[in-house]
Each structure stands twice: as C-alpha cells, then as structure tokens.
Structure 1
Amino acid sequence: MGWEPLAVGFAAGLLIAVVTAPVGVSGAVFLLPVQLDVLRVPSPAVTPTNLLFNVVSGPGALLRYRAQGQRPGVLTRTMLWGAVPGVLVGALVRVYLVPDARTFRLVAAAVLLPIGLWLIWRAVRGSRVPGGASPSRRFVVVTGLAVGVVGGVYGIGGGSVLAPILVARGLPVAAVAPAALASTFVTSIVGALAFGVLALRADGAVAPEWALGLVCGLGGLIGGYLGARWSRALPDRALTVLLGVAATALAMLYGSQGLAGGEP
C-alpha cells in the first residue's frame, strides 16, 4: 500500500475522532465508508481493520478522560458482561455466515434516527433528558450484548449505537462517553484477536489491513485525545446535541446505504 492511502487514512482517523470522542463514539462507524469507498479495503477484511483502528485510537481519549477525572467505572464493567461475548459471536457470524448488510443498515437507521432527533429536540428546547431512574443492570448487559454482536460483525465497536441509547435513557453524556469508549476499546481487542484466529483457517481476506489500521488508529489516537480535551469546555446540552447529530448522521448514512444495497 502506497503512502497516499495511508495519508488519507491518518487524516480521516484524526478528524473523525476529534468530533466523535467527546460523545463516546470511537469514529470507526464513520471510518467504515471511507475504507470501503475511498481506500477500497476488501470485505470482510474491513471489519478487523476497523477494530484495529479502535484498539490503537482508544487510549488517546481514555487517557485524557482519566486525567480529567472522568473514569469509566462500574458502567463499563456492566457493558462488558454483554459486549465481550457479543463481539465473539459477531466475528463468527461475519466470517462464516455474512449476514444481510442491507437489513442491518435499515434496522440501525430506524433505531438511531428517532433517538438522534429526540436528543437534538430535547437539548435545543432546553429540557433535561429524563434522569433519576438510571437504566437497570439487566438493560445495560442485554443492550451491550446486542451492540457487541453488531460491533463484531461490522467492526464499529458499538459505542455509536450504545451511547445514544444510554443517554436517551437518562444518563449524562459526561458519564456515558468514557464508559462507551472503554467498552469499545476492550471489545475491539477481543474482536481483533478473534478475527486473527479465524484468519488462520478461513478463506478470503479475513486478516486486517495492518498498515492502514495502524495509521488510521494513530490519527484517531491524536484526534481522540484532542476531542476528549475540548469536550470539557462544552456544557452537557451541547454534548447532547453533538451526540444527537452523530446518531442522526449515522442513521441517514445507514439508511441510504441500506436502500442502495451492496456489500458491507
């Protein structure tokens, strides 16, 4: 691979992480179309390449959040009870079953679009997102399991789906962001290792594009640190709007791709 696609990957990873890290989204979900349409990463290698991006980029934002006193804590551990087995199942499904990408994209768009618009509407109106009754442990584990499967299949980590759901259930963005990123980081390590093992026996392009994943991740490492740093200057309402915009943009992206069809 020449230096041009590596430079594009680095720039894309940096810019995406700067915008998404403050709201607990690794950015892999927005990097996925760049890898597929611009860098032409083959499928299913694009999935472990995206997971590799998460592994390399994750510590940037997490270290900055830790320095700011925002530590993942119990919420992350609860997420991981469901997300870790979920990502293993997702990796197996991706390699051996290759699920219908069109159906997934349309379902994801249908879930994320109303959540994203609702978060924007609540924040712009100045209303508080309902609080008090935090999501139950069971809800977080089950949601983490479902998101883990999605993350294993599509290499998106899952934070882009999990974060808006938890915020919509009443948790503050400042608490969800580091927890969702930490969960994405751990599940991405598990998923990347699973794909590495599966690549030893499976046919086709299963192993990640190592150089591209590492370079994109390096950009994300820097961008995530910067994004987590400037997030502290934003009020929770602004972070909620940003998360709502991210969820809405993702829903529109998935919706258009789902209607067009094609390989993930």
Structure 2
Amino acid sequence: MYFATAGIEVNPFIPPLVAFVVSFFTSMGGVSGAFLLLPFQVSFLGFTTPSVSATNQLFNIVAIPSGVIRYVREGRMVWPLTFVVIVGTLPGVLIGAIIRVKYLPDPGNFKIFAAVVMLWIGYKLLMGLVGKGNTNDKKEAEKRFQKLLLQYRERTDRDENTSAVQVRTFSMKRIVYEFYGEIYDFSTVGILSLSLVVGVVGGIYGIGGGSIIAPFFVAVFGLPVYTVAGAALMGTFVTSVAGVAFYQIIAPLYPEQVIAPDWGLGFLFGIGGLFGMYFGARCQKFFSASLIKWMLCGVILFTAGKYLCEFFI
C-alpha cells in the first residue's frame, strides 16, 4: 500500500502490528510508544520528512484514549497532576513544532537530536534503577512497595470503580495525594516548569512528551509509576492534538517541505496502538515497577545507540 504524503510503500498490516506490540509494553510506564515508532518510521520505512513528527502525534491521538479510559476506570488518574502537565506542555509543543520545521528538517540533524534526547531519558531511568543508596532503606522501600502492590491488585480486582488515588492538596505551590497509605508531596511549579521544557522537546520529536515526563516523574519526583502513567498519557494526548493541528495549519507556509501528517499511515499506527494501550494498561498491575522501568530504559538506550551509530558511521 502506497502512502503519498509519507512517500513510502508498506504492507498495511505492518503499522498496526508494530504499534500494538510497542504500545502494549510502553503504556505500562505511561508512554504511548511514539518515541519508538518514530525511529521505526525513519529507519525502517524511510519516512524522513518533518511530516513524520506530525504523523507520530496523530498516532497518539488515535491510540491514547483507550489507555486513559482504563486508568480512569481503575481510579489511577491524578487529575491535578494531569492538569498541570497539560498547561505546561501545550505552549511548549507549539514552540517545538516551529523549531522542528525551521531548524531540524534534515534527517541527519534530527537523528542526532533524537539520540541525545533518548540518551538523557535513559540515563535518568538507569540512575534511578542502579543509583547509590542505603541498602536497608532500599529493602524497606521494596517491602512497602510490595505491600502496596498487593493491596492495589486485590482492590482493583474486587472493584474497578473504587479510586485508588486520593488527592489531599492541590494549590499553586503543592500537589499532595495518597496512594494506598503512601503520601506523595511535590511542587506544582516544579512540575509546570518541567512540563514546559518537555513540551518543547516533545514538539520537536513528535512524541507529545510522555516518554520524557513519565521517567522524570518516577526518577526525579519519586512518584509511583502506577499513578503517573495515566497523567502522562493524558498530557501526551492533549499536546498531540495541538501538535497535529499546528503542523496542519503551518503546512501551507512551507510549500517546499512535507509538514502535514500522513493521515492514512497515522490512523493505521493508531489502531494498533489503541488495542495495545488498552491491554497494556489492563495488565500493568501484574508487572513490577522495576521490570517496567528496566524495559523502558533498555529500549530507549538501544534506540539512542542505533541513531548515534547511523549518524557517525
């Protein structure tokens, strides 16, 4: 099947199949999988124009709602966190789209930028997994986590409509919520500032920002992956809507470049991601947080390494 905007020919069953597999695993960590689908499109399908960023965000729009709905049903949406993420990332993603079109249209330059972004994400995750710390404290934290996970599984199996997250405080200064006896307290301004930076990077890369902000929530702010996944996905969805609209609007201003999304290819990826995210969100509680983090870290570093090799070799 030929996709005119992308300028590529591919079996129509391949995009949804790849998207399903990728999204099933990445959605457990609050990531849509777009950050892996983009290198697949660039390196394997040969889709290298700026349009690939918009097409990737179109995938987010189609795929993400199923995962978000699942997290809402299981009471794991931290709505104040979601709201702050959206407010911060929206202006950033528009700035990022302009930078992508004006300064990074060349595939080579874009690959090195993407590699640096993914190395940074992978490094933060890796440090959180193997970072130094008191062994006894880590063992105690692991015991608390296992107890929390057991409560979480039992309760969601019994009643999916019972909220697992209880918001205690939401103000311009702090957000505080409880998740099965554990209190999480963090700065609203800190999340807002991070979201703005993530929006710019996500707008350039065409990923909505979820693959950047979710690891930061876990590694820097110390939030449990079971509660940030829904917020990260919801933020990615909203910013992707803005990103696709913006790319489509500015396309006539750059007639020498292919900027608007390939709607057919984007929907095919999105359909696969739609089912992948739903089942990934449904199965998340059966996977340990450490396993999810190691999985994300591995695929991020592998993809970054591949981009660097392609750029320098």
Which residue of 1 is the match for residue 163 of structure 2?
none
SS at the partner of 1:5? coil
More off after superposition, 141-150 vs 102-111: 102-111
Indicate conservation of the 8 Å contact 1:113/1:252, yes or no: no
Which residue of 2 is the match for residue 137 of structure 1?
188
Asked whether 1:65 is paired with 2:65, we answer no
Cα distance in 2 for residues equivalent to 1:33 and 1:250: 11
Q: 1:14 to 1:110 in 2, by over 3 A?
A: closer
Which residue of 2 is the match for residue 199 of structure 1?
251
Give the TM-score, by structure 1 length: 0.89
Q: 1:173 to 1:57 in 2, by over 3 A?
A: same
Q: 1:116 to 1:127 in 2, by over 3 A?
A: farther
Indicate conservation of the 8 Å contact 1:57/1:222, yes or no: yes
Q: 1:8 to 1:44 in 2, by over 3 A?
A: same
- Structure 2: state its 5+ residue gaps: 3-8, 146-181
Which residue of 2 is the match for residue 31 of structure 1?
37
* Max Rg structure: 2
The CA deviation at 1:175 is 1.1
- Structure 1: state its 5+ residue gaps: none
Cα distance in 2 for residues equivalent to 1:17 and 1:143: 24
Indicate conservation of the 8 Å contact 1:116/1:245, yes or no: no
Asked whether 1:7 is paired with 2:13, we answer yes
Which residue of 2 is the match for residue 190 of structure 1?
242
Correspondences of 1:1-264 after superposition (within 5 Å)? 1-2=1-2, 4-98=10-104, 100-101=109-110, 103-121=112-130, 126=139, 128=141, 134-168=185-219, 169-203=221-255, 204-234=257-287, 238-261=288-311
The CA deviation at 1:152 is 0.8
Percent sequence identity is: 34
Residues 169-207 of structure 1, C-alpha deviations (whole Å, 9 max, x = no match): 211111110000000000000000000101122121111
The CA deviation at 1:150 is 1.1
SS at the partner of 1:6? coil
Residues 127-152 of structure 1, C-alpha deviations (whole Å, 9 max, x = no match): 63898663311111111111111111
Residues 38-93 of structure 1, C-alpha deviations (whole Å, 9 max, x = no match): 22223111100000000000101011111112224000111112100000001111
**Structure with greater helix share of residues:** 1
More off after superposition, 247-256 vs 38-47: 247-256
Which residue of 1 is the match for residue 157 of structure 2?
none
Cα distance in 1 for residues equivalent to 2:212 and 2:241: 18
The residue type equivalent to 2:248 in the other structure is G
The residue type equivalent to 1:115 in the other structure is K
Indicate conservation of the 8 Å contact 2:16/2:272, yes or no: yes
More off after superposition, 201-210 vs 213-222: 201-210
SS at the partner of 1:134? strand
Cα distance in 1 for residues equivalent to 2:190 and 2:201: 17
CA RMSD of aligned residues (A): 2.4
Indicate conservation of the 8 Å contact 1:21/1:227, yes or no: yes
Count matched residues: 258
**Structure with greater strand share of residues:** 2
The residue type equivalent to 2:218 in the other structure is V
Indicate conservation of the 8 Å contact 1:21/1:61, yes or no: yes
Give the TM-score, by structure 2 length: 0.76
